[in-house]
């Protein structure tokens, strides 16, 4: 169980750090679009869509990394006072009742959506837009899979706490 948690955490950590390199590209792309549009009166549809694709990639595929580091929104009225075991119970129930079913629902509902986009090699409707809409739509099922895997790691980590074994540290 510890090895499984370590492997998933390691993958999520490396993947999340890799995604971080896309953020400066988004910033540069956005600045270029703004300068070209307002400084020179030239629209850059392909670059603007590229920024949107990067934005979608960072947020959709970075969700698991955010979960791993406890960065998702949490209503923390009582949680910070709980013992490690109580926190493990609360987190496990949240994972089983909310996170994993949501990931399953997203995966099931987005699979055909992405598959159809791939089947027709869906392209942008904008003149001069990117011909890769199918790649963007593929982020939905990929996000669900990555988030479910990290959710499984969190669930296993909590199980280790509950059976009084040392939970492995997050792989950094």
pLDDT given at position 169: 61
Specify if 171 maps to a domain.
no
What is this structure's pTM? 0.89
Residue 148 has which token pair? 């479910």
CA distances to 50, 88, 129 from 29, in Å: 8, 42, 15
134 located within any domain? yes
For residue 167, tell me if it sits in a domain: no
Residue 98, classed as helix, strand or coil, is helix
What is the pLDDT at residue 168? Answer: 59
Tell whether 169 is covered by a domain: no
pLDDT for the residue numbered 43 = 92
Instruction: Tell me, yes or no, whether 108 lies in a domain.
Output: yes
Residue 158, pLDDT score: 95
Quick one: pLDDT at residue 80? Answer: 85
Sequence-distant (6+) residues with CB within 8 A of 6 are 168, 171
Please report the pLDDT score of residue 79 as a whole number.
Answer: 86
Q: Which residues of the chain have pLDDT under 50?
A: none
Residues of the domain holding 39: 2-71+80-162
Under a CB-based contact definition with an 8 Å cutoff, are residues 5 and 159 in contact?
no
- Residue ranges of alpha helices (H) inside the chain are 2-20, 22-34, 40, 45-61, 63-68, 84-94, 100-119, 133-137, 139-162
Residue 90 lies in a domain: yes
The domain tally of the chain equals: 1
pLDDT tens for each residue of 33-56 = 999 999 999 999 999 999 999 999
Does residue 170 lie in a domain region?
no
Tell me which residue of 3, 7, 1 sits closest to 150, measured CA to CA: 7
- Per the domain annotation, does 51 fall within a domain? yes
């Amino acid at each position: 169980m510890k090895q499984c948690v370590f492997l998933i955490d390691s993958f999520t950590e490396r993947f999340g750090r890799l995604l971080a390199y896309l953020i400066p590209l988004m910033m540069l792309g956005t600045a270029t679009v703004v300068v070209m549009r307002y400084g020179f009166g030239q629209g850059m549809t392909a670059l603007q869509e590229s920024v949107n694709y990067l934005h979608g990639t960072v947020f959709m595929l970075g969700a698991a990394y955010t979960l791993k580091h406890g960065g998702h929104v949490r209503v923390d009225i009582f949680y910070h006072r709980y013992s490690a075991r109580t926190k493990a119970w609360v987190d496990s129930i949240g994972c089983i009742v909310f996170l994993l079913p949501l990931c399953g629902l997203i995966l099931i509902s987005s699979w055909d959506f992405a598959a159809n986009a791939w089947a027709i090699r869906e392209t942008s409707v904008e003149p001069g837009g990117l011909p890769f809409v199918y790649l963007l739509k593929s982020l939905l099922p990929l996000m669900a899979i990555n988030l479910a895997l990290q959710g499984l790691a969190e669930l296993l980590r909590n199980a280790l706490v509950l059976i009084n074994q040392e939970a492995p540290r997050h792989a950094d």
